[in-house]
Amino acid sequence: MAELSLQLGIVVGYLLLALGIGLIAYRVTENVAEDYYLANRSIGTLVLLFTTFATLLSAFTFFGGPNLAYAQGPEWILVMGVMDGVLFAILWYLIGYKQWLIGQQEGYVTLSEMLGDRFGSTRLRGLVAGISLFWLFPYVMLQQMGAGEALTGLTGGAIPYWAGAALITAFMILYVVIAGMRGVAWTDTIQGLFMLSVVWIAVAWVLSAVGGPSGATAALQSSNPEFLALGSDFYTPAYIISTAVVIAFGVTMFPQINQRFFVAGSDRVLKRSFVLWPVLVLLLFVPTFLLGTWAAGLGIEVPEGANVLPVLLSEYTPAWFAALVIAGALAAMMSSSDSMLLSGSSYFIRDLYRPFVDPTLSESREAWLARGGVAAFATGTFIASLSRPGTLIEVGNTAFGGFAQLTLPVMVALYWQGTTRDGILAGIVGSQILYLSHVFIPEIAVDLAGTAVPLFARTYGGWDVALAGMALGALLTVGVSLLTTSAADEDDSRFVVGAD
């Protein structure tokens, strides 16, 4: 019992700290939408780097990922490296920097607003916001599920799943409502630094008990020698490439990531973050995923439904430290969810409510409504998380694939002035239909000249169908743009930057 209250004390203390930071940020935040959503485009390198980084991290970093490494070997480190370290960094430049330049010039707050304005189309604006919210919802739900499970696991069931999820949801609503982007970015920075430190301490602790990396790997060599060889039936080249490409492209269109492209204080901030990406990704994912892998060699038994990392830590480290790591994992979930709530709410209020319901909405009233949106969104996902549809990774991957469908049409629009409204609409709608049909229609086999050909499969020959959707989106955007002419209210000069 003493141990339980110690663990709970650490977790709750951590939540209160986040709330305190939110309060400080509130004191310096003006009550206008641009400041609430974007911290007046004034974010510096360390904070931008960590707020984006922390936002990328999720339940997967501490639970799903190490579990996969425990079951299949550590190759997910490579997937992460290609995906977040390199591909995302390049997209950070190609999409992020371009959007930042356009945002500086035109004052946009969301992706949908930017596209709607460029193509003179409120319908496009609403469509992009609607699609984004559709995919965002399950992803926020996933974080709440992870938080609920983490607290249940930590307390050995003393806190039921629903209560854990409710606690995290309540705290997030509180500090996002209070603090806006500035508070979220500050807490993300603390949370990111906290996660990094905790993970490295955990590695040092476990390794010192088992004779260093050589000792841990030697144990693995006798229990699961196949984990050390690169690749397996699970980690095929098709799997590694599909996963890395789909997620990297998907990440850029996640509202909370995409909105960060607008918040940097200067281009130096963007440059430095770009350079530091590969290193930061290594620093976090190498230790977390290796811990999961080594656990397999150390004979750690993971009970059904539990996560490997907490089990490993409770074996090798004192209870208070295991609680700190759980707090770190909660930090990972909260730092993604809080940003998703904030951006989700801005998409809803700015791109759906304002244009379609109340065009006369003032900036300060918008900032208040946005807070209501945060609370409503979080409550909705919390209620949905109680019925727990699907497994963590499945739901998460679907969302990434869904967002990845938006990326190529947007990139075409950013770089090719010949893009027309009909073109981008066709690209976005066509790719979403293709992907959605594959997610929701069960796979069927069709007999084609004697061989069974799968239809509506999630993968074809190991390749994710999301890749096909992405290609279709790009082709439709370019093809239809070539066949149509731009309408009078389209303004292709909006995306021309520079010459200032």
Partner 1 sequence: MTARIRTLLWVVTFTVIVGLSVPWFLWGDPRTAAGLPVWLWWHIGWMGLASAVFYLFTRTDWDRYMGVTNG
Q: Which of 81, 265, 390, 479 binds partner 1 (CB under 8 A)?
A: 81
Q: How far apart are CA 69 and CA 203, in angstroms?
A: 15
Q: How far apart are CA 273 and CA 46, in angstroms?
A: 8
Cβ-based burial of 117 (10 A; exposed 0-12, middle 13-18, buried ≥19)? buried
Closest by alpha carbon to 217, among 228, 208, 229?
A: 228
Asked if residue 496 binds partner 1 (CB under 8 A), the reply is yes
**Which of 85, 402 has the CB closer to partner 1?**
85
Q: Which residue has the tokens 């539990």?
A: 306
> CA distances (Å), 79 to each of 17, 65, 217, in order?
33, 11, 21
Asked if residue 274 binds partner 1 (CB under 8 A), the reply is yes
Q: How far apart are CA 14 and CA 96, in angstroms?
A: 32
Contacts of 441-447 spanning 24+ positions with Cβ under 8 A: none
Do the bridges between strand 459-460 and strand 463-464 make them parallel or antiparallel, or are there none, so unpaired? antiparallel
Asked if residue 275 binds partner 1 (CB under 8 A), the reply is yes
Asked if residue 433 binds partner 1 (CB under 8 A), the reply is no
Do the bridges between strand 459-460 and strand 444-448 make them parallel or antiparallel, or are there none, so unpaired? unpaired
Least Å distance, CB 498 to partner 1, is 4
Least Å distance, CB 436 to partner 1, is 29
Q: Which stretch binds partner 1 (CB under 8 A): 82-90, 118-126, 432-440, 476-484?
A: 82-90
Q: Which of 39, 57, 89, 342 binds partner 1 (CB under 8 A)?
A: 89
Least Å distance, CB 281 to partner 1, is 7
> CA distances (Å), 433 to each of 115, 116, 192, 426, in order?
20, 21, 36, 10
Q: How far apart are CA 132 and CA 134, in angstroms?
A: 5
Structure tokens at 297: 């060699």
Q: Which residue has the tokens 């490579």?
A: 78
Structure tokens at 470: 């992405």
Structure tokens at 160: 């039921």
Residues 98-127, mask of contacts with partner 1 (x by CB under 8 A): x--x--------------------------
Asked if residue 482 binds partner 1 (CB under 8 A), the reply is no
**Which of 220, 308 has the CB closer to partner 1?**
220
Asked if residue 93 binds partner 1 (CB under 8 A), the reply is yes
Least Å distance, CB 197 to partner 1, is 20
Least Å distance, CB 279 to partner 1, is 5
Least Å distance, CB 373 to partner 1, is 33
**Which of 97, 403 has the CB closer to partner 1?**
97
> CA distances (Å), 490 to each of 117, 391, 420, in order?
8, 43, 8
Asked if residue 237 binds partner 1 (CB under 8 A), the reply is yes
Q: Which of 225, 318, 380, 462 binds partner 1 (CB under 8 A)?
A: 225
Asked if residue 271 binds partner 1 (CB under 8 A), the reply is yes
**Which of 232, 437 has the CB closer to partner 1?**
232
- The answer to whether residues 274 and 89 touch, using CB atoms and an 8 Å cutoff, is yes
Q: How far apart are CA 94 and CA 268, in angstroms?
A: 15
- Chain length of the chain: 500
Q: How far apart are CA 33 and CA 472, in angstroms?
A: 36
Q: Which of residues 199-218 bind partner 1 (CB under 8 A)?
A: 212-217
Structure tokens at 18: 């986040």
Q: Which residue has the tokens 């931008």?
A: 48
Q: Which amino acid is at 119?
A: F
Asked if residue 276 binds partner 1 (CB under 8 A), the reply is yes
Asked if residue 234 binds partner 1 (CB under 8 A), the reply is no
Asked if residue 318 binds partner 1 (CB under 8 A), the reply is no
Asked if residue 418 binds partner 1 (CB under 8 A), the reply is no
**Which of 204, 482 has the CB closer to partner 1?**
204
Least Å distance, CB 488 to partner 1, is 25
Asked if residue 253 binds partner 1 (CB under 8 A), the reply is no
Asked if residue 413 binds partner 1 (CB under 8 A), the reply is no
For the chain, the distance separating the N- and C-terminal CA atoms, rounded to the nearest angstrom, is 65
**Which of 37, 97 has the CB closer to partner 1?**
97
Beta bridge partners of 382: none
Q: Which stretch binds partner 1 (CB under 8 A): 91-99, 192-200, 365-373, 464-472?
A: 91-99
**Which of 216, 472 has the CB closer to partner 1?**
216
274 sits in the region (left: phi over 0; alpha: psi -120 to 50; else beta) called: alpha
**Which of 42, 217 has the CB closer to partner 1?**
217
Q: Which amino acid is at 109?
A: V
**Which of 126, 278 has the CB closer to partner 1?**
278
Size of interface with partner 1, in residues (CB under 8 A): 47
Closest by alpha carbon to 59, among 385, 387, 283?
A: 385
Q: Which of 14, 97, 175, 400 binds partner 1 (CB under 8 A)?
A: 97
**Which of 233, 301 has the CB closer to partner 1?**
233
Angle at 15 between CA 374 and CA 399, to 5 degrees: 45
Least Å distance, CB 280 to partner 1, is 9
Q: How far apart are CA 66 and CA 294, in angstroms?
A: 10
Least Å distance, CB 322 to partner 1, is 24
Binding residues for partner 1 (CB under 8 A): 74, 77-78, 81-82, 85-87, 89-90, 93, 97-98, 101, 212-217, 221, 225-226, 228-231, 237, 240, 267, 271-272, 274-279, 281-282, 286, 290, 496-500
